[in-house]
Amino acid sequence: MITINTEPKRYEGVENRVQMMALALALLFTIPCLRLWHLQMVKQRDYQHTADAQRISDTTLESDRGVIYGRNDVILADNRASVNIVFTPGECPEVRREEVGIRLARLLGLEAHSVLEKVKNSKRNPFMQIVIKSDVSKTELYRIEENGLDLPGVAPIVRPQRRYLYRETGGQLLGYLGEISRKQLNDSHWLDQGYHQGDVIGLGGLEAQYEQQLQGQDGFLLLTRYASGRPQLRTDRAGMPVEAKRDSAGNVTSIEGEGREPRAGDPLHLTLDIGLQAKCESLLMGQVGAIVVLNADTGAVLAMASVPSYDPSVFVSHDPTGERKRLLEAKKPKPMLNRAYREQYPPGSVFKVMLAAAALEEGVIDTATSHYCGGGFKINGRGRTWHCWRRGGHGRVAVKDALTYSCDVFFYNVGLALGVDKIQEWAHRMGMGVLSGIDLPREITGLIPGQEWKKALFKDKPVWDQNWRLGDTVNLSIGQGSAATTPLQNAIMMACIVNGGYRITPYMNRDGSHKRSEKLISDTTIAVISDAMRRCVEKAPPDYPSGTGWRAGVPGIAILGKTGSAQVMSLSHHEKYETEEDIPYKMRDHAWFVAGVVEQEQNIAICILVEHGHHGSTAASVLAKPLIEYFYRDQLRSDVQVAQAGKGTL
């Protein structure tokens, strides 16, 4: 029997082909599997961060800036709630961003190109919130809310806003705020402190000086946006808001831990008496000048007025009138410049107080030393004539009368006997022409010229021009020539006399370190100068001339004083005008008055400057009287009345 094989015959090599196809299919499946493993296992962390960045947005909870208190814990600057309108481009379809920007500008009264420029600059980080307008009004907020459906990516954000309760009063001392610059962000100092683009920092005054203390620590919440685009608060399993970690650009890099509440900045307690500050500024109203009032024993700054001033509130919100730009670009008189410690002037005759102390301490003169004043002075009796302010002269005067009546000729002789090196040395000792160390930014040094200074100044000139001459010493002896001091320095010099011969370091921060030097001036010298300066203010008996500062006198209060008139132009320029009022404003002398109040529970040192005020005796000393009356009588009476009223309501 024959068996027939009915199975179809396979082609030769089919087994090899099947094996090859199976291997190819296995490879094809292996590649995506490996790719999936790489994506899910190796690159999982990277893609998780990318997904979170697209899905999660962080909302900053801005911290309150530290409160600034004045003397007796009066609040000078605190914070209030305000609303900013922000735009997050990444939450708005790209094709609609320009449309939304233009609509926002119209609703908020802004220029469209400025809004669109901000949107354009955010392309690298589309999910960063752009502040379109800060501190909006209720009307503007209602407009945004009414048009909310047409403004994707736009939201109102509540944040703290700086508030200055006394506006211009003390404005230059408190300083102002502004957004941190790109240049500052490139400095590792600011990055290390955790600052980011858009942060507001102190740019002047105490706000800048104590930035690290006043700046709080922001908190933040994370929002998860689902497919509907509705934000949901992101929390951990316990229901607590979770914390995000960010890089130097502010981008979310990881999510971990519990939520972080914002921490307010630390408070700053000042020595500033805001009532006295307001009084000083009102006394200078309509003029250009400065007034400094120090506690003569400790150096505490009770008032430091500079007029014109500015309102720092202009810098914390939107500025539709352009006042901010006007202030920053203003020419003389510059309202942004604090004349008390950042402007220098020839000290004029107030310099004689220091010169008298130096001459007595060095033994160059004593109380019996006298010089004759006939109205003029010549070195060695020949050559140029240096005039006394009193053209008829003062006759023969000793140091007490020379200070009381401000005799120039006496101090010409004393300055030559003392010499420029000793004049410079003692001026620096008593705080003139050197930094005071006050806790305010950008203090200037002033200048007490000397031999080395002149050589350096004229190093490219012939030797004859480099040499210090006796005529230079004569000019320096009455605070003229190249001498330049600040009102603060003159107040420090005056404090040396009031407190018994110690140089104090002025300070604003009540909780800071307080320093004063060892004793510089003997009690004998202090007694001589104090007696002369008291006679300068107290009215003399009939038939005897009063001192130049008699207008500052307050009955019942012991006041030391010294007037000064610092020349801006030589006397020859003034002689061609018939009256003083005919002299152009910029050519008029600066008016000075330094004073000290003694025999009180709190002794004070005062310096008053009126730019181009003609005479210290008429323009500056007259301001001291109401100032002293306010501090020792009116303010005290007001405090007592308030205290009594308070007791009556208990």
Q: Specify if 285 maps to a domain.
A: no
> In this model, does residue 10 exceed pLDDT 80?
no
CATH of residue 527? 3.40.710.10
CA angle, 337 then 342 then 348, to 5°: 115
**Which of the four pLDDT bands, split at 50, 70 and 90, describes residue 645?**
very low
> In this model, does residue 297 exceed pLDDT 80?
yes
> In this model, does residue 346 exceed pLDDT 80?
yes
Whether 542 and 515 have beta carbons less than 8 Å apart is answered as: no
List pLDDT tens digits, range 559-576: 999 999 988 876 666 667
Q: Specify if 5 maps to a domain.
A: no
Output 522 or 571, whichever has higher pLDDT. Answer: 522
- One domain, residues 247 and 315: no
Distance CA 190, CA 138 (A): 35
Q: Specify if 418 maps to a domain.
A: yes
Average pLDDT estimate for 293-301: 95
Q: Residue 175 has what pLDDT? A: 93
Q: Residue 646 has what pLDDT? A: 39
Domain count of the fold of the chain: 2
Least reliable range by pLDDT among 13-27, 453-467, 498-512: 13-27
**Which of the four pLDDT bands, split at 50, 70 and 90, describes residue 441?**
very high
- One domain, residues 256 and 314: no
**Which of the four pLDDT bands, split at 50, 70 and 90, describes residue 131?**
confident
Q: Residue 543 has what pLDDT? A: 64
**pTM for this model (two decimals):** 0.82
> In this model, does residue 167 exceed pLDDT 80?
yes
Q: Specify if 25 maps to a domain.
A: no
Q: Residue 44 has what pLDDT? A: 74
- One domain, residues 346 and 494: yes
The contacts of residue 313 (CB under 8 Å, 6+ apart) are 162, 163, 164, 167
Q: Residue 195 has what pLDDT? A: 78
Q: What are phi and psi of 246, to 5 degrees?
A: -125, 155
Q: Residue 91 has what pLDDT? A: 79
Q: Can you give the length of the chain in residues? A: 650
CA Rg value for the chain: 37
> In this model, does residue 237 exceed pLDDT 80?
no
**Which of the four pLDDT bands, split at 50, 70 and 90, describes residue 550?**
very high
Q: What is the mean pLDDT of the chain?
A: 84
Q: Specify if 430 maps to a domain.
A: yes
Q: Residue 228 has what pLDDT? A: 45
**Which of the four pLDDT bands, split at 50, 70 and 90, describes residue 219?**
confident
Q: Residue 558 has what pLDDT? A: 94
Please give the sequence-ordered ranges of beta strands (E in DSSP) within 67-109, or none if there are none: 68-69, 75-87
Helices 112-120 and 97-108: crossing angle in degrees, nearest 10, is: 140
- One domain, residues 397 and 470: yes
CATH of residue 88? 3.90.1310.10
> In this model, does residue 635 exceed pLDDT 90?
no
DSSP string of 138-189? HHHHHHHHHTGGG-TTEEEEEEEEEEETTTTTTHHHH--EEEPPHHHHTSHH
List pLDDT tens digits, range 54-66: 556 566 777 889 9
- One domain, residues 385 and 471: yes
Q: Residue 252 has what pLDDT? A: 47
Average pLDDT estimate for 325-354: 91
Output the six-digit token pair for 432.
């003139």
Q: Residue 414 has what pLDDT? A: 96
Q: Specify if 365 maps to a domain.
A: yes
Distance CA 597, CA 592 (A): 17
Q: Specify if 125 maps to a domain.
A: yes
Q: Kindly list the distances between the CA atom of residue 493 and the CA atoms of 379, 520, 553, 606, 619, in Å, as whole numbers in the listed order.
A: 29, 11, 21, 10, 21
Most confident of 25-34, 120-129, 308-317, 598-607: 598-607
List pLDDT tens digits, range 107-126: 888 888 888 888 887 777 77
- One domain, residues 264 and 316: no
- One domain, residues 265 and 310: no
Least reliable range by pLDDT among 76-90, 229-243, 332-346, 401-415: 229-243
- One domain, residues 245 and 319: no
**Which of the four pLDDT bands, split at 50, 70 and 90, describes residue 498?**
very high
Whether 344 and 486 have beta carbons less than 8 Å apart is answered as: yes
Average pLDDT estimate for 585-598: 92
- One domain, residues 482 and 543: yes
Q: Kindly list the distances between the CA atom of residue 1 and the CA atoms of 4, 45, 384, 513, in Å, as whole numbers in the listed order.
A: 10, 75, 159, 125
User: Exposed e or buried b for every residue in 35-54, given b needs 16+ CB within 10 A?
Assistant: eeeeeeeeeeeeeeeeebee
The contacts of residue 255 (CB under 8 Å, 6+ apart) are 52, 56, 222, 234, 242, 243, 244, 245
Q: Specify if 461 maps to a domain.
A: yes
List pLDDT tens digits, range 485-495: 999 999 999 99
- One domain, residues 115 and 223: yes
Average pLDDT estimate for 48-75: 77
Specify the 3-state DSSP secondary structure of 604. Answer: strand
Q: Residue 235 has what pLDDT? A: 55
**What is the number of H-type helices and E-type strands within the chain?**
24, 23
Backbone CA torsion sign across 534, 538, 541, 545: positive
Most confident of 319-328, 376-385, 482-491, 504-513: 482-491
Least reliable range by pLDDT among 20-24, 266-270, 293-297, 348-352: 20-24
* Structural domain span for residue 390: 305-325+338-636
> In this model, does residue 241 exceed pLDDT 70?
no
Average pLDDT estimate for 245-260: 48
- One domain, residues 257 and 311: no
Q: Residue 647 has what pLDDT? A: 39
* % the chain with pLDDT above 90: 48
Average pLDDT estimate for 43-55: 66
Least reliable range by pLDDT among 1-10, 149-158, 379-388, 517-526: 1-10
- One domain, residues 184 and 309: no
> In this model, does residue 294 exceed pLDDT 90?
yes
List pLDDT tens digits, range 416-439: 999 999 999 999 999 999 999 999
